[in-house]
Structure formats: structure tokens, C-alpha cells
């Protein structure tokens, strides 16, 4: 099914074996101005997203017969398909959320949450955090690092760092505040909006931030095994080391 709205805010692929849920979600997205394409299994999704897919975002169910959502995500990333993925699931345990983030998802939303919450997450993912991006320089060089804001790409020692949109935003914020310790809360607010809480307890969001930072570091280490400019301030957050130190 391909539903087209007169207002085009982006192209969203919905993947869920629950036909009633995916149909309802697709209609809500269309009403909100998004073009949608619905699939009910992993293989059909992978086939559609192969090559040069028309998609800006994938909303992916975790529990599906035959091929799980995490397997779909892993195959997408193995094939270098870097379309942002948000998991939609009934699974609320943090172990699933962390696994999704570590494998390259940008968010993890429980199906019980209202559509308005999901819509806000989609807007944050597709819109980015920079409302005045057009006023910024096309790229910024910081030592061996280049940040290209118009495409949300990073270069380290002349090699591309394969970051998701969320990972880029976190990295950019650390670099823009080089030498300053940035709290877990501040980094998490970049992703989900100020005041959003996740995980268990008031500090549950720290698990999410740690997962993002771990993945960012891994991607830099694939290029430079001696990379060590992201420092941890135990119990508080992280900082990008000022290379002038």
C-alpha cells in the first residue's frame, strides 16, 4: 500500500505483522503529512529497501515471525543502508532497547504510547535538533574531525565515520562544547527533547546515552584504533577532549 498526502513531510516505511496496527498507524501518518509504505515481514522490507529506496525513516516491529526486527536492522546495516530506524514494540525491558540502539536504531518506542508521542519522535529524527541549520557553515573542521551539517556526515582523518543522525547530533554537541563535561541528561535531551525520561528510575536515560556513546566510539575505532577523544566523567556524562590540552 502506498498512501500519498497533499502535504509531503517525508517517506515512512512501516513494518509490522499486525495488519490492523500497521494500517491504523499508516493512516495516522498520512493524516500528519507523511507518505507511507507498509510491509508485514522482514524479507519484503529488505527487498524494498535494497538499492536506492524511497524512504526517509523505518518504523520497525521487533517481534515478527520468520525474521525479527533486530535481524532486519542488522541486515540493513550490513548492506550499508543507513535509513533511520525507530523500533515500535510491546517489549519494555531495557535490554531490548539497548540492543536496538547498539545495532543502529535511533529510537525505541513502546506501542502503548500515544501517536502524538511517536509523531514527536519522528519529527525529532527527521528534523534534527538544529532549527537554524541553514544559518550555519556547511562544515566545521576541528583538528582531524570534519562535521558536515548539511548532510549530517562526519570525517575522521579523511575517512567517513558511518554515523546515524542521532549519533551525529550527539557527536556534534560534544565537539561544539569541547573541553566541557556534558551531562547524561543534556545529551539525552538532544535526542528526545527536554525533560523526557526513559528506562527505569529517574536516571534510566543514562543507559541510552551510554549505548549511543559506545557505538560512536566503536565507529571511530574502526578507523583509528588509538582514538580516545571522547572522555567519560563517571556519574556525570562525557566530554570531547580539547586537542589543545
Domains and CATH numbers, the chain: 2-127 (3.40.50.2300), 133-240 (1.10.10.10)
pLDDT, residue 195, reads 54
pLDDT above 90: residue 46:
yes
- CA end-to-end span of the chain: 56
> Using an 8 Å Cβ cutoff, are 101 and 77 in contact?
no
Distances, alpha carbon 192 to alpha carbons 8, 19, 42, 129, 198, in Å: 23, 28, 27, 10, 9
pLDDT above 50: residue 43:
yes
Average pLDDT over the chain, rounded to an integer: 81
Q: In the chain, what percentage of residues exceed pLDDT 70?
A: 81
Helix (H) or strand (E) holding 102: helix 94-102
Looking at residues 147-164, what average pLDDT do you find? 83
Angle of the 115-127 helix axis to the 184-192 helix axis, nearest 10: 100
3-state secondary structure (DSSP) of residue 109: strand
Instruction: List, for residues 184-223, the tens digit of each pLDDT value.
Output: 988 888 776 555 555 555 566 788 888 899 999 999 999 9
3-state secondary structure (DSSP) of residue 56: coil
Distances, alpha carbon 219 to alpha carbons 28, 116, 125, 214, in Å: 36, 33, 20, 9
Nearest Cα to 25, choosing from 107, 117, 125, 104? 117
Instruction: List, for residues 82-118, the tens digit of each pLDDT value.
Output: 888 998 887 766 677 777 777 778 787 888 888 888 8
Lowest mean pLDDT across 31-35, 50-54, 154-158, 225-229? 50-54
> Using an 8 Å Cβ cutoff, are 18 and 45 in contact?
no
> Using an 8 Å Cβ cutoff, are 123 and 183 in contact?
no
Q: For residues 174, 177, 181 and 186, what is the CA-based torsion angle, rounded to 10 degrees?
A: -70
C-alpha cell at 152: 549530517
C-alpha cell at 46: 529488505
Instruction: List, for residues 19-30, the tens digit of each pLDDT value.
Output: 999 999 999 999
Rounded to whole angstroms, how far apart are CA atoms 72 and 49? Answer: 11
DSSP for residue 91: -
Residues whose CB is less than 8 angstroms from the CB of residue 110 and which lie 6 or more positions away in sequence, other chains included: 88, 89, 90, 91, 92
How far, rounded to the nearest angstrom, does the alpha carbon of residue 143 sit from its chain's CA centroid? Answer: 26
Rounded to whole angstroms, how far apart are CA atoms 134 and 160? Answer: 23
pLDDT above 60: residue 137:
no
pTM, whole model, 2 decimals? Answer: 0.56
Amino acid at each position: 500500500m502506498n498512501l500519498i498526502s497533499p502535504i509531503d513531510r517525508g517517506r515512512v516505511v512501516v513494518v509490522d505483522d499486525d495488519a490492523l496496527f500497521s494500517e491504523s498507524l499508516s493512516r495516522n501518518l498520512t493524516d500528519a503529512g507523511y507518505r507511507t509504505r507498509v510491509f508485514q515481514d522482514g524479507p519484503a522490507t529488505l527487498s524494498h529497501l535494497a538499492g536506492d529506496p524511497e524512504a526517509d525513516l523505518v518504523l520497525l516491529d521487533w517481534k515478527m515471525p520468520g525474521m525479527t526486527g533486530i535481524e532486519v536492522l542488522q541486515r540493513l546495516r550490513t548492506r550499508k543502508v543507513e535509513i533511520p530506524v525507530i523500533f515500535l514494540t510491546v517489549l519494555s525491558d531495557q535490554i531490548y532497547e539497548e540492543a536496538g540502539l547498539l545495532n543502529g536504531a535511533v529510537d525505541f518506542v513502546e506501542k502503548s504510547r500515544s501517536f502524538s508521542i511517536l509523531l514527536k519522535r519522528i519529527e525529532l529524527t527527521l528534523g534534527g535538533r538544529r532549527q537554524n541549520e541553514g544559518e550555519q557553515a556547511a562544515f566545521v573542521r576541528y583538528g582531524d574531525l570534519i562535521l558536515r551539517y548539511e548532510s549530517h556526515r562526519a570525517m575522521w582523518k579523511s575517512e567517513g565515520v558511518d554515523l546515524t543522525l542521532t549519533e551525529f547530533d550527539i557527536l556534534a554537541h560534544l565537539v561544539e562544547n569541547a573541553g566541557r563535561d556534558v551531562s547524561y541528561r543534556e545529551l539525552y535531551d538532544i535526542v528526545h527533547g527536554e525533560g523526557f525520561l526513559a528506562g527505569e528510575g529517574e536516571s534510566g536515560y543514562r543507559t541510552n546515552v551510554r549505548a549511543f556513546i559506545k557505538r560512536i566510539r566503536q565507529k571511530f575505532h574502526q578507523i583509528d584504533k588509538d582514538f580516545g577523544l571522547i572522555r567519560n566523567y563517571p556519574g556525570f556524562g562525557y566530554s570531547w577532549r580539547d586537542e589543545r590540552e
